[in-house]
Amino acid sequence: MAVSVDEAVSTGPARDHTPPARRLGGRGRSVLEIALLTLLAVVMLFPVLWMIETSIKENRDVYAIPAKFFDFTVTLEHYKDVFVAPGGGRSALSVAFLNSVVVAGVSTLLATVLGVPAAWAYSRFAVKAKKDQLFFILSTRFMPPVVVVVPIFLMYRQVGLIDSKLGLILIYAAFNVPFTIWMMKGFVDEVPAEYEDAAMLDGYTRLQAFRLFTLPLLVPGIAATAVFALIFSWNEFVFATFLTSSDDVRTAPPAIAGLIGGTTTDWGLVAAASVVFALPVLVFAYLVRKHLIAGVTLGAVRR
């Protein structure tokens, strides 16, 4: 997975709860702290910054030696090239982006729709050999994609799923369901079963009780889980490379990778495509950030 839980947990707001007295040993310390953090940020963010810069430079500035940091002409040509084909019409990259949106979106939706009820069932009911089942489910994630991609390739060829969006959607959903079940089970465990008990005594069926009372309380958890699943599907490279070949099925990661190589590489285009590729997940994570933090820290709150 692209984002580890640690990264998600250590976002700003959680830190702000530390009382100031404990956080800072005095003015000198805070200056040092800020300096170190700035240094770290620059080192970490430099490649991103460079990518953004490259995407808005003209080609001769891109290849300029020494590299130009500030005094270059800003152009949006590369961004236009991302979406519009040289002869007019839609570019292959824009089709790839659309494919990515469809594949990542649908597979995440599928994983969530399947995983959340499963997690609820594992949390609430006495299932035979529950621990073994859960371990088995998790174990399907132990294999790295590169290991399973060849058998899956052969199977897909048999059933005609090779080079199809449906094929990618299914494999991503299959990869995300175990993760969704495990993460969501933690969230469901946190919601007291008494809500459902009370609702059932109030005259609702078990499923109504789940839908009306437990589900609304799970929204932050679902948001957090879905973001992780989405990021996985969005970034996935190995399956996408092996299982698709035509331009109208290929997703963005192999499409962008395909730009590199050959005789010349249009770095401006690569950078612009990368920026466009990075944006949706960032925006999405930003939109659900409240849920993300609430979701990832849910266990810390006493009920």
Partner 1 sequence: MAGIEVTALHKRYPDGTVAVEHVDLSIGDGELFVMLGPSGCGKTTTLRAIAGLERQTTGDIRIGDTLVNDLPPAERDIAMVFQFYALYPHLKTRDNLAFPLRAEGLPKSEVQERVAEAARLMRLGPLLDRRPRQLSGGEQQRVALARALVRRPRAFLMDEPLTNLDAELRADMRTEIKHLQGELGATMVYVTHDQVEAMSLGHRIAILNKGRVEQIGTPLEVYDRPASLFCAAFIGSPPMNLIEVEVADGKLRSQGGLALTPPPGLPRDRRLVAGVRPEALEVTEPGAERSVPARVVSAEWLGDEIIYVVDHSGQRDVRVRMPPTVRFAADAPVGLRHTGGTPAVYDVSTEELVA
Does 192 bind partner 1 (CB under 8 A)? Our answer is: yes
Q: Which stretch binds partner 1 (CB under 8 A): 52-60, 210-218, 220-228, 254-262?
A: 210-218
Q: Which is nearer to partner 1, 56 or 218 (CB)?
A: 218
Residue 197 near partner 1 by CB under 8 A: yes
Binding flag, residue 203, partner 1 (CB under 8 A): yes
CB 303, min distance to partner 1, A = 8
Task: Assign 72 to helix, strand or coil.
Answer: coil
**Which residues are within 8 A (CB) of 49 and not within 5 positions of it... i.e. 6 or more apart?**
none
The structure tokens listed for 71 are 């005094």
CA distances from 233 to 1, 106, 158 (A): 9, 10, 24
Q: How far is the CB of 134 from partner 1 (least distance, A)?
A: 16
Neighbour count for residue 204 (Cβ, 10 Å) = 16
Q: Which is nearer to partner 1, 200 or 259 (CB)?
A: 200
Q: Report cis status (omega within 30 of 0) of the bond before 253.
A: no
Q: Is 242 in the site for partner 1 (CB under 8 A)?
A: no
| 195 part of the interface to partner 1, by CB under 8 A | yes
Indicate the residue among 98 and 294 with the shorter CB distance to partner 1. 294
Q: Which among 231, 239, 136 is positioned nearest to 182, based on CA atoms?
A: 136
Amino acid at 191: V
Q: Among residues 86 and 203, whose Cβ is nearest to partner 1?
A: 203
Q: Are 172 and 149 in contact (CB under 8 A)?
A: no
Q: Applying CB under 8 A, does 238 fall inside the site for partner 1?
A: no
Comparing CB distances to partner 1, the nearer of 160 and 216 is 216
Nearest residue (CB) to partner 1, 1 versus 193:
193
What span, in angstroms and rounded, lies between the C-alpha atoms of 53 and 17? 36
Asked if residues 93 and 252 have their Cβ atoms less than 8 Å apart, the reply is yes
Residue 266, both tokens:
């249009």
Residue 72 found at the interface with partner 1 (CB under 8 A): no
| Of residues 60 and 130, the one with the C-beta less far from partner 1 | 130
3-state secondary structure of 74: strand
Entry field: residues in the chain: 303
* 217 contacts partner 1 (rule: CB under 8 A): yes
Residue 200 binds to partner 1 (criterion: CB under 8 A) = yes
Q: Which of 25, 151, 160, 216 binds partner 1 (CB under 8 A)?
A: 216
Site for partner 1 in 106-135 (CB under 8 A): 126, 128
Q: Does 182 bind partner 1 (CB under 8 A)?
A: no
CA nearest to 124, candidates 57, 185, 64, 203: 185
**Closest distance to partner 1 from the beta carbon of 113 (Å):** 22
**Should residue 202 be labelled a site residue for partner 1 when binding is judged by CB under 8 A?**
yes
| CA neighbor of 284 nearest in space, from 25, 85, 100 | 100
Encoded tokens for 32: 């040092």
The footprint of partner 1 (CB under 8 A) covers 126, 128, 192, 194-195, 197-206, 213, 216-217, 303
